Structure 1
Amino acid sequence: MDQQRHMQKKLDNDNKHTSPQISTHVAIEVHGAQLYSHKVFEEFKEEVKYSMDTCKSRGFSEGDSLEVTTVSDTNKDRNYKVTYCPFTFKETCSRRMLERKSIICRHVIWIYSYNGLKAIPDECVVNRWCKDAVRSKMFDCNGEAAEDVDIIDGK
C-alpha cells in the first residue's frame, strides 16, 4: 500500500508541475493538456491527431437547433453520425466514446474544430480525469475516516 501511495503522490506531483508534450498545437489540444492528467491526455492527444488526419465531412443537415453531420473516418473506413447543437455545445456521436471512456472522440473533436471551439465544453469533461480532481476521503467499515483510524493487530 505504501508503494501505491508513493506512486500516486508522484503522479499527482508530475501532473501539477509538468506539462505534457503537445503534437498538433490545435487549440482544443492545448486546452486538453491544461485540463487532463498526463495519462488521459495521451489518449486524448491521439484522438486529436487522428481527427486532423483522418476525419472528413460526408454530409450535413440542419434542424431547428441541431446540426447533423456524417463524419467519415478514413482510418477505420466507416462513417459516424455526429449531432451537434451550436448554442449549448452538446453533441452525440454514434461511436459513443464519451459514454464508454469519458473522453470525446476524434469525430466530435473534428466538429468542434470545424465550428471554431477552442476549449472542451464542461459537459464533456469528467472530473476524475482532470489534473485537479479532488480525492474523496476513504472510510473504514465503521464509517470512520481512514486517516484517523489506528492500526490494530497490524491489519
Structure 2
Amino acid sequence: MNKEESKKLLIEELGIHFENEYSLPPLAARIFASLVITEEEGLTFDDCLIKRGASKSSISTSLNLLLQMNFIKYFTKSGDRRRYFKIAEKDAFFVEKLNKTLKKLEDESEMIEKVAAFNKTYNAEKHQANKEKKKIYMKCLEDTKAIYKKTIVNLKNLEQ
C-alpha cells in the first residue's frame, strides 16, 4: 500500500472515530481527520472541496461547525485572500477534552453522593447494602480525577 492509499484509509478510520467520539457529522469528521493528517500548514476551502468531493455548501457548513466547536481555526497569508484552515492548538484541544471528561466525573461524584445521602435518610437498608460498593466506586472516580488533573497540569506546563 502506498502513502496516499494509507493516508486515505487513516482519514476514513479517524473520521469514524471522530464521528463516534464527538458526535460529528461524517463530512465534518472527515475534514477534521484530513486536517489532523495533512503535512501542509493548512488547507484552503478549495483543498477541502477537492479532497472530500462534496458540495460547496456542505463543506462550508462542516468547516463552520468545526470552527464553532473550536476544533479548527483559520489564518490568512499576506497577499493571499484565501483562508487556510488548521486544527486548533493541539495542547489546548487535549486540555479542553480532559476538562470536559473531568467535569463529567465530578458531576457523577456529586450525583452518587446525593443518592447516598437520600438513601441514608430515607432508605437506611439500601444505604447500608450499597455502602461498600459506593466506597469502591468513589475511590475509582477520585483516582481517575487525580490522573486527569495531573495530565492537564503536565500539558499546560508544556505550553509554557
The question of a shared fold, defined as TM-score above 0.5 by the shorter chain, is answered with no
Q: Which has the higher contact order (CA 8 A, sep 6+)?
A: 1
Larger helix proportion of the pair: 2
